[in-house]
Amino acid sequence: MAANKKLLFLPGDGIGPEVMAQVRKVIDWLDNRRHVSFELEEDLVGGAAIDAHGTSLTDATLDKAMNVDAVLLGAVGGPKWDNVARDIRPEAGLLTLRKDMDLFANLRPANCLPSLADASSLKEDLVSGLDILIVRESTGGAYFGQPKMIEDIEGGQRAVDTQVYTTAEIERVCRVAFDLAEKRSGKLHSVEKANVMETGVLWRQVATEIGKEFSGIELQHMYADNCAMQLVRAPKQFDVIVTDNLFGDILSDCAAMLTGSLGMLPSATLSGADQSGRRRAMYEPVHGSAPDIAGKDKANPLATILSFAMMLRYSFDDGNNADLIEDAVKNTLGRGIRTGDIMQEGMELVSCSQMGQALTEELDKLAA
């Protein structure tokens, strides 16, 4: 493959730099063993950028993010910056990136590897081998709709959030979900509350219309409350789920916990495709900066490594190397190697950097 793939690495704060360093090992391995090369730039975001530049995201960094093929982000935030002004706080940089890059489709896989099935709060047979992909609309809905305010009224206050969606907003995220369902099992659940919400009525109508273009996809509509119930009752009935910002926030965290550990969960957020089919994209682990273990070489780097595998799959159409990395993760865990967050009796406890090393050894074996 040509070495024209441009990446921006934003390690951020806390465990961000430690887990990103393990991705570099995988990138070096791909370069040496698979002749897959990246043009890689690194920059600051979050608290690290506040310390250096007085803002959590400089215009220059944003400009770089807009002009690469994909961004990989570690995590932002930590107690050191808890009291900085709201508009420069670490998370503000992340929100600006998502907004300015127009990353409206948040992909949250929830896979439960058989070797970690007993870490789930559900019975092993309900979750072992689970493989769900939640597509959450991430730039609209109740978190951004106007008006949004708290006002004084007689006898107290009145708080307003506005749930609002346009046809175009629903259409573009549904299209991403249908595309993904087509590449997976061909099954898609569209989730809303059409029984009590007007946005739900429109959502269902638009999803049904788009579904007519994807005749091979089995589309099912489901109310969000039922979906929450079904996720803990029989999660393996789902493959791809598409839903709005608010329901997606809740349902993706619920699905994530079926898999047992924050340290294992990758994510991607994508923009719409331009005329050449290119989507802007940012990949990041679901976990935060874990200040309690930062700098101690204890973090689990697998969520970030799996986020990089998603990047190969969705930004570079390189399913082969993405599969290889995901298989290496499975085999490494299958060999009983564990970081502290997923440690189980009788297993071998390793550091963050040792996990990165073990993974590249497993890649060597798989590629032999």
The residues carrying an active-site annotation are 143, 193, 225, 249, 253
Q: Give me the amino acid identity at 45.
A: V
Return the CA Rg of the chain. Answer: 21
Q: Which is nearer to ligand NAD, 94 or 132 (CB)?
A: 94
Q: How far is the CB of 354 from ligand NAD (least distance, A)?
A: 13
Structure tokens at 38: 């990246």
Q: Do 12 and 46 meet the contact criterion of CB atoms below 8 Å apart? A: yes
Could you give the C-alpha distances from 227 to 135, 230, 260, in angstroms and in order?
14, 5, 19
Q: How far is the CB of 246 from ligand NAD (least distance, A)?
A: 17
Q: How far is the CB of 222 from ligand NAD (least distance, A)?
A: 27
Query: Which residue's Cβ lies closest to ligand NAD?
Result: 288
- Mode of pairing for the β-strands spanning 187-192 and 218-223: parallel
Q: Which is nearer to ligand NAD, 140 or 263 (CB)?
A: 263
Say which residue the tokens 């998370």 belong to.
91
Strands (DSSP E) found in 30-184: 38-42, 70-75, 105-111, 131-137, 145-153, 156-162
Q: Which is nearer to ligand NAD, 44 or 194 (CB)?
A: 44
Q: Which is nearer to ligand NAD, 145 or 291 (CB)?
A: 291
Q: Which is nearer to ligand NAD, 235 or 288 (CB)?
A: 288
C-alpha 294/C-alpha 116 separation (Å) is 24
Binding site for ligand NAD (CB under 6 A): 15, 75-78, 94, 262-263, 284, 287-293, 299-300, 303, 339, 341
* DSSP states along 143-171: GTEEEEEEEEETTEEEEEEE----HHHHH
Q: How far is the CB of 201 from ligand NAD (least distance, A)?
A: 32
Q: How far is the CB of 190 from ligand NAD (least distance, A)?
A: 26
C-alpha 201/C-alpha 208 separation (Å) is 11
Q: How far is the CB of 91 from ligand NAD (least distance, A)?
A: 6
C-alpha 335/C-alpha 351 separation (Å) is 15
C-alpha 330/C-alpha 335 separation (Å) is 9
